[in-house]
Structure 1
Amino acid sequence: MKRPPGSPGPAPATTRRATDNPLIMLVGMGDLSARVLTMLLGDPATNRVVLAGRDTETIRRRGNLALFAATNLGHHGSVDTVHMDLNDIDATAETLARVRPDIVFMGASLQSWRVITALPPKTFEELDEAQFGPWLPMHLTLNHLLMRAVRASGVPTRVVNAAFPDAVGPVLAKVGLAPEIGVGNVANIVPALTRGAAHLLGEYPADVELRLVAQHYFSHYVPRFGDAGKGAYRLDVRLKGGDTPADVDHPALFAQLDNRLKRLGGIDGQLLTASSAVRVLRGMATDSGVLAHAPAPGGLPGGYPVRVHRDGGSVDLPEGLTLKEAVTLNEDCQRADGIDRIDDDGTVYFAEPEMAVMKRMLGYDCPVMKLADCAGQADELARKYASFAASHR
């Protein structure tokens, strides 16, 4: 059914046929979501998209740009736009109930991880010693609001989170609000490890299959320094169809990522995160069961190999590793990332050494954070970082 010219928003759910592709909503149209949009429109299984954000005119134009580029390449999907302010839970719930997306991709955050990379190099390196854990309020706050709106909407949509899912997922899982799955982080290091392992084994990358269990710290550290640092992990490398793990020297493998397999980072590196997101989104859209890597499947801490299906990802662990062991491993790696533990009510205890860096450099000190206090901590952290950045231009 065609809508009249100028009709706003996506077609009502009641006009969609059962055979239509899933409707994918992208929330937050920054650089990552823009790259994800471009990739989604190139695949008929994922080319029905609605963009949600506060500046509808800007995201409408961005959507049109991606749509026109896809048309140039012979792909004819659809992109619609709706207004969404995550701070207004009731309005967000109403929008979700009206649009009824099958999948929501959460790309919004109060402060992108890459913001601190714009600091002078020496200052960035010093602040980066705090790792990522202390920045959790900037990524948890909007996810908490979105998931409360999803619950209020009554819509059985599945949420895929790109904002620090390794920690956001397990915090929200404690209160029954976890997104179905995350993207990036553990997934971002797997392609380089696959190619590095193939190089050491003298095999084609397509014939090498990895299963990696690791939290964000590991995937952040290894490409920068060529070793695992303090990060606990489990890596299983096999030739496809093989019954036993291949004998791969891990230090030699990791060293390649800071040498022959060194890649661009920063905003350019978002291309890799976008591709990992689309692997998950396509797997969910087609219920394919494809092997992927993803953080926080079902709200678990850290990252895992998963089989992606319609409702998210089911963990597909290396042989001989139990789920309990994998969770413990990721919780150990999480401590290296600056989060000591997450209590059963969602209260987060930050690790003292990493928070000490934040206190010394920014004057920000938050040893313990209750979920209800997350937004307030995000406001304080934003103010103190803004002041710090202004004094270090």
Structure 2
Amino acid sequence: MTAAPSSSADIAVFGTGQFAGRIVFDLAATSSEPLDVVIVGRNAERLSWLVTAANARAFMFGAKARFRAAELDVRDKSEVAALLQHCRPRLAVQTASSQPSAVIGEDDNAWARLVAAGGLSATAVFQAALSIMVGEAIKEAGITCAMINCCFPDVANAILRARGIEVLCGTGNVAILSNAFAGARTGEPGRIRILAHYQQLAAWRRPAAERAGRPPRVWIDDSEIRDVYARFATLKLTREPAIEISGASGVTLMQAYVAGRDWHGHAPGPNGLPGGYPVRLSGGTLSLDLPPGLTVEEAIAWNAAFEERNGLVVKDGTCIYTGELKRLLAQEGYPFASGFPVDQTASACTAMEELRRRLIA
């Protein structure tokens, strides 16, 4: 590991991929208050570039953020804990994953086709594994540090919570739609609030005439609109991961959390819940900010229903595959197709890596 930064940090960003890059570059361009960020990863060349580019962007935009690097392997929990104990960040932003999100735009191998047919929850164990490592390192470091998990938070955050890891929320997914919808309404009055699950993003990657299935629930001020597909027919997402929106969607939340300011917006997996919700940050606590007439229980049940039909749910400390995904995994001989206790996530991840390698080959 390279020498750890010599002073405390406000935010530690884990990972050096495109998602991490979007976050640090937007922090660099928009931070009006002093912000010290340490970027953590094992790719020395990429780390060097992220730091160089982020500090350059901060200078260009007159922002008050500064960036440093810590080179280490995020899979090494003891090294991560030592870094956290030394830097004592107030917020850890976890983006590192062994499964690139680009798989959603691929169809040239059997693994990508399994993910397309069975759903992204096929990748959940990959997304959860390193996030568990970071979450446990925070506990091992004995510091007060909130965690935002950017890796498949609609599902993975429930695994983290079942493992006893506190997670503030994720980024993207519901916030992709909420910000895209709000952006399409620029100049129109009324606050928008959305209840949405990541599975609903797929419809918005298709032409308007081909959209089907249950749409997100959308409220403008306190009135729910019933024609969501028609109302936002001109809006269309890229087929690839919408990092330009998803990576950026948590930046204002991160800034508000570190500064101790109130904030409201949208986030997936808040406090380990399934799916995405309108949320409010106040006094360092994130809570649901639902429209009148919608109970917390109704909102959770609405989001949970997607993975109960097809995907992965967490119940009583056990991860359970459902629907078509369960059938496909069993068909491919995946040994955990019937589910696994959350404390066996590492073993389930190893077995899924073997399946992925075989299908890609």
Shorter-chain TM-score above 0.5? yes
| 1:259-298 matched pairs, under 5 angstroms | 260-267=234-241, 269-298=242-271
TM-score using structure 2 length = 0.89
* Aligned positions, number: 357
Contact 2:310 2:323 in 1 (8 A): no
Structure 2 residues without counterparts, runs of 5 or longer:
none
Secondary structure, counterpart of 2:127 in structure 1: helix
Is the deviation greater in 216-225 or in 32-41?
216-225
Is the deviation greater in 160-169 or in 274-283?
274-283
Task: Determine what percentage of the aligned residue pairs are the same residue.
Answer: 23
2:10 aligns to what? 23
2:354 aligns to what? 383
2:98 aligns to what? 110
1:51 aligns to what? 39
Once the two structures are TM-superposed, the CA of residue 150 in structure 1 deviates from its matched residue by 0.7
1:3 aligns to what? none
1:344 to 294, 312, 316: 316
1:218 to 170, 181, 200: 200
Question: Are 1:62 and 2:50 an aligned pair?
Answer: yes
CA distance in 1 between counterparts of 2:136 and 2:157 reads 14
CA distance in 2 between counterparts of 1:169 and 1:127 reads 19
| 1:163-178 matched pairs, under 5 angstroms | 163-178=151-166
> For residues 355 and 229 of structure 1, do their structure 2 counterparts lie closer, same or farther at Cα, with a shift above 3 Å needed?
farther
Once the two structures are TM-superposed, the CA of residue 216 in structure 1 deviates from its matched residue by 1.4
> For residues 169 and 292 of structure 1, do their structure 2 counterparts lie closer, same or farther at Cα, with a shift above 3 Å needed?
same
Once the two structures are TM-superposed, the CA of residue 222 in structure 1 deviates from its matched residue by 3.8
Once the two structures are TM-superposed, the CA of residue 246 in structure 1 deviates from its matched residue by 5.9
Q: Deviations over 1:152-181 (max 9, x none)?
A: 111101111100111121222223213111
Structure 1 residues without counterparts, runs of 5 or longer:
1-6, 14-21, 199-203, 239-243
The structure with the largest alpha-carbon Rg is: 1
Secondary structure, counterpart of 2:13 in structure 1: strand
Question: Are 1:253 and 2:231 an aligned pair?
Answer: yes
2:133 to 140, 145, 158: 145
Once the two structures are TM-superposed, the CA of residue 125 in structure 1 deviates from its matched residue by 6.0
2:220 aligns to what? 237
Letter in 2 for 1:342: V
TM-score using structure 1 length = 0.82
Q: Deviations over 1:335-375 (max 9, x none)?
A: 24512x31222x11111322223455x55362202222212
Is the deviation greater in 64-73 or in 151-160?
64-73
> For residues 332 and 108 of structure 1, do their structure 2 counterparts lie closer, same or farther at Cα, with a shift above 3 Å needed?
same
Once the two structures are TM-superposed, the CA of residue 309 in structure 1 deviates from its matched residue by 3.9
The Cα RMSD (Å) is 2.7
Is the deviation greater in 324-333 or in 215-224?
215-224
Contact 1:233 1:330 in 2 (8 A): no
Once the two structures are TM-superposed, the CA of residue 265 in structure 1 deviates from its matched residue by 3.6
CA distance in 2 between counterparts of 1:151 and 1:122 reads 38
Secondary structure, counterpart of 1:276 in structure 2: coil
Once the two structures are TM-superposed, the CA of residue 10 in structure 1 deviates from its matched residue by 2.2
